[in-house]
Amino acid sequence: MKTNILDKIFENSTRLIAFSILLIVAWIFTVLFQNSLDSMQGFGIDFITGTKWAPNLEKFGALPAIMGSVISTFLAMILAIPLAIGVAIFLSEIAPEKLKSPVGVSIELLAAIPSVIYGMWGLFYFVPIIRDIFGGLGIGMLTAGIVLAIMILPFMAAVTRDAMNTTPDILKESAYALGGTQWDVIKDIVIPYAKAGIIGSMILALGRAIGETMAVTFVMGNVHKISTDITAPATSIPVTLANEFTEADTDLYFSSLFELAFILLIISFSIISISKFYFLRKSRRA
Amino acid sequence: MATIVDITDEKALEVKNFEFTYNGAQEPSLKNITMPIAKRSITALIGPSGCGKTTLLRSFNRMHDLYAGNRYSGSIEFEGRNILDAKEDLIKLRTNIGMIFQKPTAFPMSIFDNVAYGLRLQGIKNRSELNDRVEKALQDAAIWKEVSSRLKNDANGLSGGQQQRLCIARAIAVEPEVLLFDEPTSALDPISTQGIEKLVIELKERVSIIIVTHNMQQAARVSDYTGFMYMGELIELGVTEELFVTPKERLTEEYITGKFG
pLDDT digits (tens, 9 = 90+) for B29-88: 999 999 999 999 999 999 999 999 999 999 999 999 999 899 999 999 999 999 999 999
> Would you state the pLDDT for residue B79?
94
Chain A interface disruption, residue of B101, B114, B167, B172, most A CBs within 10 A: B101
SS3 B154: strand
Burial B53-80 (b: 16+ CB within 10 A, else e): bbbbbbbbbbbbbbeeebebebbbbbee
Average pLDDT, chain B: 94
Its CATH class, for the domain covering B3-51+70-256, is alpha beta
pLDDT value for B17:
95
What average pLDDT does the segment B156-163 reach?
93
Residues on chain A touching B118 (C-beta within 8 angstroms): 178-179
Considering only residues A244 and B261, tell me which one the structure prediction assigns the higher pLDDT.
Answer: A244
User: What number of C-beta contacts closer than 8 Å exist between A and B?
Assistant: 62
pLDDT at A1: 58
Residues of chain B with C-beta less than 8 angstroms from the C-beta of A193: 108
pLDDT of B174-185, one tens digit each?
Answer: 999 999 999 999
Q: What separation, in Å, do the N-terminal and C-terminal C-alpha atoms of chain A show?
A: 44
The CATH number of A64-285 is 1.10.3720.10
pLDDT at B4: 87
Q: Which parts of chain A register pLDDT below 50?
A: 286
Whether the pLDDT of residue B16 is over 50: the answer is yes
- B108-155 residue pLDDT tens: 999 999 999 999 999 999 999 999 999 999 999 999 999 999 999 999
* A232-267: pLDDT as tens digits: 889 999 999 999 988 888 999 999 999 999 999 999
Domain range annotation of chain A: 64-285
B156 pLDDT tier (thresholds 50, 70, 90): very high
Q: What are residue A45's phi and psi, to 5 degrees?
A: -70, -20
B109 in contact with A, Cβ within 8 Å: yes
Domain ranges within chain B, ordered by starting residue: 3-51+70-256
ipTM greater than cut 0.85: yes
Q: Would you say A141 and A230 are in contact if contact means Cβ atoms under 8 Å apart?
A: yes
By C-alpha distance, the chain A residue nearest B103 is A170
Long-range (24+ apart) CB contacts under 8 A made by A149-152 are A149/A75, A149/A76, A149/A77, A149/A79, A149/A80, A149/A83, A150/A80, A150/A118, A150/A122, A151/A76, A151/A113, A151/A115, A151/A118, A151/A208, A151/A209, A151/A212, A151/A215, A152/A76, A152/A80, A152/A84, A152/A205, A152/A208, A152/A209
Given a cut of 70, is residue B1 above it in pLDDT? no
Of B68, B94, B108, the CB nearest to A177: B94
